[in-house]
Structure 1
Amino acid sequence: MFKTAVEMEKAAMILKLLGDKTRLTMVKILDSHDCCVCEFVEIFKMSQPAISQHLRKLKDVGLVKEERRGQWIFYSVNKNNAYYSFVAEILKQLPDQDEKLKVLEENGTRMTCC
């Protein structure tokens, strides 16, 4: 598969965004699971505005996309983004985050908004 090189400036911008542990964890989770803001509020024990701000930054560069389902918005990694292959290489090096979602399910708080 042919991979294009990532411009140094774009790579630095993406790495800066992913340098935040919360955003990096969000992207790792969203790479394999769609989530809504309320789930991230539970996972990270942060306010809804703080979670929304993290997601907005990821969305602004196109790494994350949103999809409306009824009155709720679900987020996922945008695998069509030009820099996804660069990000995917980073994500491969990280531990699985499925346990965080499993805890939500056990607590009955997975997709509480739905």
Structure 2
Amino acid sequence: MRVLEHPDVEEIHLEAVLHALADPMRLEIVRFLATTEDGAACSEIELAVTKSTGTHHYRVLREAGVINQVYRGTAKINSLRSTDLDTLFPGLLASVISAATRRSQR
């Protein structure tokens, strides 16, 4: 089974997290994942980009420590690293998701 590289909690840096969350497509991924309990496959999240661009966005989020990705068969299942991010940066993820949701409702 293939295993993807993720940063350990102590390797997650605020600058990388903010950079990952600054892109509208990546923010949409995070907003979607915030509504799931068990995570979601990449194919479940509709993005208006090519597959290769989508793969890039998931990689940036994973390498920044925002999401966790595991293989389940041939699918990558994505989930937010909410606990890790809340421990390091209390309230950041919830605030960003809330602001993005309000903005999308305008």
TM-score per shorter chain, which class? 0.5 to 0.7
For residues 35 and 22 of structure 2, what CA distance do their matches in structure 1 show? 20
* 1:28-47: CA deviation from partner (whole Å, max 9, x where unpaired): 1111222222233xx22322
CA change 1:71–1:13 in 2 (3 A) is closer
Corresponding residue for 2:35? 32
Superposition misfits of 4+ residues, deviation over 4 angstroms: none
* 1:58-101: CA deviation from partner (whole Å, max 9, x where unpaired): 100111001322222110111232346322221122328xxxxx
CA change 1:73–1:12 in 2 (3 A) is closer
Corresponding residue for 1:86? 92
For residues 68 and 26 of structure 1, what CA distance do their matches in structure 2 show? 17
Matched, 1:65 2:68: yes
Query: How many residue pairs align between the two structures?
Result: 85
Gaps of 5+ in 2: 1-12
Alignment of 1:44-55 (within 5 A): 44-55=47-58
Deviation of 1:19 after TM superposition, in Å, equals 1.4
Per the normalisation by structure 2, the TM-score is 0.66
* 1:8-64: CA deviation from partner (whole Å, max 9, x where unpaired): xx4443222211100111111111222222233xx2232211111101001001110
Gaps of 5+ in 1: 1-9, 97-114
Q: Which has the larger radius of gyration?
A: 1
Matched residue of 1:44: which SS?
A: coil
Per the normalisation by structure 1, the TM-score is 0.62
1:46 counterpart letter in structure 2: V
For residues 32 and 67 of structure 1, what CA distance do their matches in structure 2 show? 18
For residues 62 and 11 of structure 1, what CA distance do their matches in structure 2 show? 10
Q: Share of identical aligned residues, percent?
A: 19
